[in-house]
Structure 1
Amino acid sequence: MTHLVDRRRLLLGALGLAAAPALAACTGDPDPAPAGPGGAPKQLRIGYQLIPNGDLIVKDLGWLEAALPGTTVVWSKFDSGGDVNTAILAGSLDIGLAGSSPVARGLAAPLNIPYAVPWIFDVIGDNESLVVKPNISDLAGLAGKKIATPFSSTSHYSLLAALAGAGVPESSVKIIDLEPPEIQAAWQRGDIDGAYVWTPVLAELRKTGKVLTTSRELAGKGKLTADLAVVRTAFLQQYPQTLTTWIRQQDRAVKLVRSDKTAAAQAISRQLNLDADEAGAQLSELVLLDAAEQAGADYLGTPAAPGKLAENLHDAAEFLTAQGKLPAAPGLDAYRKGLAVQALADARTA
């Protein structure tokens, strides 16, 4: 694969270091986007990742640029949710993508990132899985094995959840912190026995390995993970109409997937440098939700009744706390306040 993705990692220390390449592509001024005509910002800075969901469709087809003619849209590629968190803390990004595990940490102390979740890009399904060498038959067989995953990512969260669910002590497995490109290289060299990772690297590992469990299976057991949009609180407050427009384009992309999957796959294939069939296959492994579904009780919900996404984030924080990855999980109310449900409601009625 030409493009290899690490989209969900949250930095555990030295917060600014890993984000330096991504920040170099962004403007450093905390608020470099004064209002232009009609109250829209002169510049909208978006952090995207190479994930086969609606965001790549919006980017490829130029819908946002057409919907915001007075705004310069700057698309900067990020490799991880941790880098997105860092960029928003620095005021160098307006809207970005981060997995539910990094967002659960971002809304907790000590980070307390001033952002909110206005959209669910996708619920992670079969596109994120645990793949092992063919001689390993079950999760119990991981004891003493080297398993790689990007630490503090949704994959890391899912790996620990899978081990806990199977009664396999985390300490009995040699869990190694590697980025997806490094995972692929280590797998090819025979340095690791397995990995919990996402596409497109996952697709390469599946060619010679065996899938033990998937994030879709774990979601069915209450360990849901997702790719979420995060928007700077200051941007949301200053430019609510722009965010409404952004949400509507994302909703449009989900509806294109349902009405014309061929066109959607072609857009994604151009962004990922894949053939359309492979892009379509990767797209099918995600669960995409339109605006009406996201307003349901299981997801973002409404201003009157925030949805279960807040509970999922809180559960993730408690799990990370139990694993020693987070000092303490904030109360459920912190995650309810972290859902920009009014923005979603405005987009549905605009």
Structure 2
Amino acid sequence: MKKTYGLVLAALCLGLAACSSGTGASKAAAGGGNGDGTPKTLRIGYQLIPNGDLVVKDRKWLEQALPHTKITWSRFDSGGDVNTAMIAGSLDIGLAGSSPVTKGLSAPLNITYKVPWIFDVIGENEALVAREATSVTALRGKKIATPFSSTSHYSLLAALRDAGLAESDVKIIDLEPQDVQAAWQRGDIDAAYVWTPVLGTLEKTGKVLITSKDLAAKGKVTADLAVVRTEFADRYPKALTTWLQQQDRAVELIRGDRDGAAAAVGRQLNLPPAEAARQIDQLILLDGEQQAGPEYLGTAAKPGAFAQTLHSTAQFLKAQNQLPSVPALSVFQQGLATKELGDAFPS
């Protein structure tokens, strides 16, 4: 953790080419703006998580709402990879879990981005699954896979600590979700903490020991967050407002037309609508009004309690030697894009 920021940045950027799949993130800058105050290009990093972001993508709402902007969707497998792309300047908006965002806002990364939206509060869609063990304590000496620097990694460490196990009591292996599934099928690992849709595959032959919903009840809340480059938010507020409003529209569709939303998410995940609906129900989704409330992001005048959630996450990560130091609470308060959220949903 004593590397200089420049060395960290260089190492992250070297790995950028291998961190995304699908269309791939462009390394070019956003390409300037249109005469109407919108960007010529909006580069979005998404993940295969059954929330409103996949509805927006499937329905092509952004393409319709920003007709003069080229929307580029790039698939990423973890929030750590999104952080890498943000540092390299190859994304404008991305999805990352609360644990990698906490790291992103902290030293040594200090990424110049902020959180304008909570895609979902993680529930039963992330869990610790074991092949034979019937309790977390029974995992002592076992191999457990999870994507490092992800919300699953954070939750795994919290689950081990809650069960009285140290990280050194098990062997934790860093694998992306698709690699977790392959390792499970080969019998190379004894357990895994991972999210859907891979979680659903593991559940067929394994036993769920604890979920992120269980951990949230114990104070270890995790969430999937949007991050927007600060430079982009400042330069193109109209585009960010439009993006926020489409995300809110997706939450309303999920609440009001479950079948239609499940069909959209199912197409993106290559799942039957019934299974997509089941996975959507494992998440807590918030509309714009809720997000601007005191329990979550809050307002520019009064940042919400979610800043404290990120601060608590940083404290936990520091205790696990995942961060060199814990930033002040104000760092996370300033990391919430409350003004932009208020502009999109004025009270």
Instruction: Tell me the TM-score normalized by structure 2.
Output: 0.94
Residue by residue over 1:227-285, the C-alpha shift from the partner in whole angstroms, topping out at 9 and shown as x without a partner, is 10000000000111110110000000000000001000000111111111111111111
Q: Does 1:80 align with 2:78?
A: yes
What is residue 29 of structure 1 aligned with on the other side? 28
CA distance, structure 1, for counterparts of residue 244 and residue 80 of structure 2: 23
Q: Does 1:257 align with 2:254?
A: yes
What is residue 5 of structure 1 aligned with on the other side? none
Deviation at 1:29, TM superposition (A): 3.1
CA distance, structure 2, for counterparts of residue 102 and residue 212 of structure 1: 24
Deviation at 1:298, TM superposition (A): 1.6
Residue by residue over 1:208-239, the C-alpha shift from the partner in whole angstroms, topping out at 9 and shown as x without a partner, is 11111000111111101111000000000011
Bigger drift between 162-171 and 94-103 goes to 162-171
CA distance, structure 2, for counterparts of residue 181 and residue 28 of structure 1: 25
Deviation at 1:12, TM superposition (A): 10
CA distance, structure 2, for counterparts of residue 25 and residue 212 of structure 1: 35
Q: Does 1:163 align with 2:146?
A: no
Deviation at 1:152, TM superposition (A): 1.6
Structure 1, unaligned runs of 5 or more: 1-10
Residue by residue over 1:149-180, the C-alpha shift from the partner in whole angstroms, topping out at 9 and shown as x without a partner, is 11121111001101111212221112122221
Amino acid at match of 1:148: A
What is residue 6 of structure 1 aligned with on the other side? none
- 1:325 aligned residue (318, 322, 327): 322
Amino acid at match of 1:26: A
What is residue 130 of structure 2 aligned with on the other side? 132
What is residue 181 of structure 1 aligned with on the other side? 178
What is residue 302 of structure 1 aligned with on the other side? 299
> How many residues of Structure 1 are paired with residues of Structure 2 in the alignment?
338
Q: Secondary structure at the match of 2:299?
A: coil
Amino acid at match of 2:205: T
Deviation at 1:196, TM superposition (A): 0.6
Amino acid at match of 1:92: S
What is residue 123 of structure 1 aligned with on the other side? 121
Amino acid at match of 1:171: S
Q: Secondary structure at the match of 1:45?
A: strand
What is residue 7 of structure 1 aligned with on the other side? none
Structure 2, unaligned runs of 5 or more: 1-7
CA distance, structure 2, for counterparts of residue 174 and residue 180 of structure 1: 17
CA distance, structure 2, for counterparts of residue 315 and residue 189 of structure 1: 37
Contact residue 33 and residue 44 of structure 1 kept, 8 A: no
- 2:97 aligned residue (86, 89, 99): 99
CA distance, structure 2, for counterparts of residue 12 and residue 276 of structure 1: 41
CA distance, structure 2, for counterparts of residue 17 and residue 204 of structure 1: 32
What is residue 4 of structure 1 aligned with on the other side? none
Q: Does 1:141 align with 2:138?
A: yes
Contact residue 116 and residue 339 of structure 1 kept, 8 A: yes
CA distance, structure 2, for counterparts of residue 26 and residue 142 of structure 1: 38
CA distance, structure 1, for counterparts of residue 25 and residue 206 of structure 2: 39
Percent of aligned pairs sharing the same letter = 62
Q: Secondary structure at the match of 1:16?
A: helix
CA distance, structure 2, for counterparts of residue 170 and residue 316 of structure 1: 17
Q: Secondary structure at the match of 2:128?
A: strand
Deviation at 1:203, TM superposition (A): 0.4
CA distance, structure 2, for counterparts of residue 186 and residue 42 of structure 1: 42
Change (3 A) 1:210 1:280: same
Which aligned pairs between 1:11-90 and structure 2 lie closer than 5 A?
A: 14-21=11-18, 22=20, 25-30=24-29, 32-90=30-88
